[in-house]
Amino acid sequence: MVLGSGTQLKFLQILRHLHHCRRYSKIMRPSVYVTRPDVPAVGIDLLKEKCSVHLWTGNIAPPRDELLKGIIGKNALFCNIADKIDKDVFDAAGSNLKVVATMSVGYEHIDLEEAKKRGIKVGYTPDVLTYAVAELTVGILLATSRRLFEAHREIFTGGWTSWSPSWMCGPSIRGKTVGIVGFGRIGQETARLLKGFGVKQFLYSGRKDHPEASDIGALRLPIEEMLPQCDFVICALALTPETKHFFNEKLFNLMKPSTIFVNTSRGGVVDQDALIKALETGVIRGAGLDVMTPEPIPSNHRLLSLPNCVVIPHIGSAGIESRNDMAELTARNILTALENKPMPAELKL
């Protein structure tokens, strides 16, 4: 089909207009700064559908100056618990910043008061990591009680010479009392998983009764009454100003010498010096830690020299499925906030 000159001119004008619109649309897309290059693709791909995504490309968390530089003018921030999001970050971002979404259930790294003051929404990722953390809690409890790390080292140090009746023995879970401090989603799921091991009694401590406790068969007691009865104590507390160093020397001294302590919540809820003292002096039998202070922990730290302490590098939510779900939820938190719609998981500031 041959177009007349007037029609051709109009057609070219339309094409130029469409091209201009596409360029303008691209320029005006909301911008998101992502503090990790290895965020699961499901989250990044979702953001790229509607946003201009700027990824920090380093192998570790962005240094402070890079974070402050990268956030300038952005509309959204995709971060995690290793990123300190405070007044300086908000100042650097400027008034364009509408939402901070953290790929974590914890949010103590974000200055919530400052976010509230500026009208910035904050999203997080509860629920989707519950099973993964509970599963790992059971794993580290077993690794500590059955001395798996100790036994593994003996293969390389010459300690494994022959089978011996009492060598590398540790307590079983069956027939024991398990106490859980922090009986929320993760604490409850951990109890459900442990039921299959033949636990004699579940106890929990907290400010209120949980209706789910009756289904699990868990009894609430004051912490001072609970701890002396427990063979295993699991910490599933959120870190708040009230729970910082909740587990201190006084509480460790209430435990039995045979108690194994497990923490997969936050390092800050434990007075680490008090824990080390309890482990070194036999106040408790052992500890399994997925979290500690600081993180990463120095390779020469005293905790790492204790044979009765299992330490792993904060991998509680590191199930493939869980991390994919966390990345997707973080992205959806950002997209809905930018569209002024209710966020799937918003912190009420």
Catalytic site positions: 314
Which residues lie closer than 8 Å to 320 by C-beta, 6 or more apart?
Answer: none
Which residues lie closer than 8 Å to 240 by C-beta, 6 or more apart?
Answer: 108
CB-based contact 105:81 (threshold 8 Å): no
Half-sphere exposure (Cβ direction) of 172: Cα atoms closer than 13 Å: 7
CB-based contact 278:284 (threshold 8 Å): yes
Rounded CA separation 326/329 (Å) = 5
Rounded CA separation 31/105 (Å) = 24
Half-sphere exposure (Cβ direction) of 125: Cα atoms closer than 13 Å: 28
Rounded CA separation 259/178 (Å) = 10
Cis previous bond, 296, omega within 30: yes
Which residues lie closer than 8 Å to 247 by C-beta, 6 or more apart?
Answer: 181, 235, 261, 263, 269, 270, 271, 274, 275
Cis previous bond, 294, omega within 30: yes
